[in-house]
Amino acid sequence: SKNLASSDEIHDILFLSRPDYIIFDEMRNTPDFELYTDLRLGGSNVLGVLHAATPIDAVQRFISRMDVGMIPSVLDTLLFIDKGNIGKIMTVQMIVKVPSGMVEADLARPVVEVRDFLANKLEFEIYSYGEETVVIPVSESSELKSNPANALAAKQIEREFRDYTDRIKVKVISNNKVEVYVPENTIARIIGSQGSNIEKLEKKIGMSIDVREYDDHNSSDDEANSNKKSVHYNVEESKKALIFNVPSDYSSRQADIFVDDKFLLTYTIGKNGDIKINKKSELGRELMKNLDKGKKIEVRI
């Protein structure tokens, strides 16, 4: 107890006696944090208790007292107690990466990630920016939805990949990474010799592209597809394309085309509500064949 001994004396006693487990209650001032840090780095099993409004506030109280690179060695798990129950469990780890929101590879740096343990979701990033140490909240879903550049990049990637296949789905993972799902037999041609094709495209788009087999992506989209509804369309044929016309209200949205309830392709609707599919492409020929046979073709949005 601090009432009976100084911080230095408690420090010496704990290091000499080496208890199996230590509960350090009411960590308040700098000497308390320094003692907790020494015990953790010395290999003791320590549970520290401090007051904070949110889990990240607890981490913030360590930032001013130590180098950022040491934080994951001192704090690896945070238990946030709210109204007598465990409200949240967070984990802390350090990796070298490009911080969320940045694109250029040369901006990579050591970043402390604070994740929701149960959902394995990145919630905060801590890193040095100039002379400051910043704590940045990361909300991938809202970030991707609010950033129109990501939607434009996805459309551009779709256009580039149409030269290889019409069966394509682009998933924006972050501001600097996308996953592209294509049929297995086109992957080698898309990547090119020693990755030359994909490297040129990455430089053009300014994002890292991960090419994956399309079938691996189907199961993850089942729930999203089930929420899409079939819409009325008119189909017409030009010299080069098969054109599905839907109401212009759906322009720029993703449309899935099904034949007899079997998924065929995903396409981005044009600004006039048109879906143009090259008649000479593999899927274009397949669609024309199915139309001639009178099969049920649906456009789901």
* DSSP line for 88-138: EEEEEEEEEEPPTT---GGG-EEEEEEEETTTTEEEEEEEEETTEEEEEE-
SS3 68: helix
The residues, any chain, with a CB within 8 Å of residue 76's CB and separated by 6 or more, are 91, 92, 93
**In this predicted model, which residue has the larger pLDDT, 72 or 7?**
72
CATH class of the region 140-225: alpha beta
Say what the pLDDT of residue 28 is.
Answer: 86
What are residue 155's phi and psi, to 5 degrees?
-65, -40
Pairwise CA distance, residues 50 & 108, whole Å: 33
pTM above 0.85, yes or no: no
Among 23-37, 154-168, 266-280, 281-295, the minimum mean pLDDT is found in 154-168
pLDDT averaged over every residue in the chain: 82
The residues, any chain, with a CB within 8 Å of residue 128's CB and separated by 6 or more, are 68, 109, 110, 134
Pairwise CA distance, residues 10 & 194, whole Å: 61
Reported as a single tens digit per residue, the pLDDT across 237-283 is 888 888 999 998 888 788 888 888 887 777 788 888 898 888 887 77
Say what the pLDDT of residue 175 is.
Answer: 66
Does pLDDT of 67 surpass 90?
Answer: no
Reported as a single tens digit per residue, the pLDDT across 38-62 is 989 888 889 999 998 888 999 999 9
Q: Where are the domains of the chain?
A: 7-139, 140-225, 228-301
Q: pLDDT grade, residue 217 (50/70/90)?
A: very low
Classify domain 228-301 by CATH number.
2.60.40
Reported as a single tens digit per residue, the pLDDT across 135-165 is 888 865 545 554 556 666 777 788 788 777 7
Does pLDDT of 224 surpass 70?
Answer: no
What are residue 177's phi and psi, to 5 degrees?
-150, 140
Say what the pLDDT of residue 216 is.
Answer: 46
Reported as a single tens digit per residue, the pLDDT across 172-190 is 777 677 888 888 878 888 8
Does pLDDT of 113 surpass 90?
Answer: yes
The residues, any chain, with a CB within 8 Å of residue 211's CB and separated by 6 or more, are 180, 182, 187, 190, 191, 198
Among 11-20, 121-130, 198-207, the minimum mean pLDDT is found in 198-207
* Rounded average pLDDT over 3-11: 77
Share of the chain above pLDDT 70, in %: 88
SS3 149: helix
Say what the pLDDT of residue 197 is.
Answer: 85
Can you read off the two tokens belonging to residue 233? Answer: 């369309």
Say what the pLDDT of residue 226 is.
Answer: 53
